[in-house]
Amino acid sequence: MNLERTQIMPPSRSELEERDRREAAEPPEDHSWPPKIDNPGLTNSFWRDPDPQNTAVLTADRIREYHYEVGRMIRPFQEAHLNPASYDLTLGPRCLID
């Protein structure tokens, strides 16, 4: 039996940017969010620090680069939330309050 391994090719940077623009323009409704992240694009690069030597504050440019290098770490990524050295995260339609 010959089983071929299929390698999932990560989307290009322009495809990722387009997804961010679409999601930022029309955030998904609460009922359309999946119960868990089931994304075949979450490859090993998603969990690997693309710049482990950088131990300083991340500038806006580096935050944007990290976001795209690992395959969209923040969803939806909105330029309006990007500050000179931080990103303002917001809660999605589901959260747990303890």
> Tens digits of per-residue pLDDT, 69-79?
877 788 788 89
Of the candidates 73, 68, 65, which has an alpha carbon nearest to the alpha carbon of residue 47?
A: 73
pLDDT of residue 41: 58
Q: Work out the burial of residue 74: count CB atoms within 10 Å of its CB; fewer than 13 is exposed, 13-18 middle, 19 or more buried.
A: middle
> Is residue 24 scored above 70 in pLDDT?
yes
> Is residue 30 scored above 80 in pLDDT?
no
Stretch among 30-34, 61-65, 80-84 having the lowest mean pLDDT: 30-34
Q: Where are the domains of the chain?
A: 12-25+56-81
The backbone torsions φ and ψ at residue 53, rounded to the nearest 5 degrees and listed phi first, read -75, -20
> Does 22 or 9 have the greater pLDDT score?
22
The DSSP symbol for 93 reads S
C-alpha to C-alpha distance for 97 and 58, rounded to whole angstroms: 29
pLDDT of residue 60: 94
Mean pLDDT of 36-54: 69
Neighbours of 78 (CB within 10 A): 17
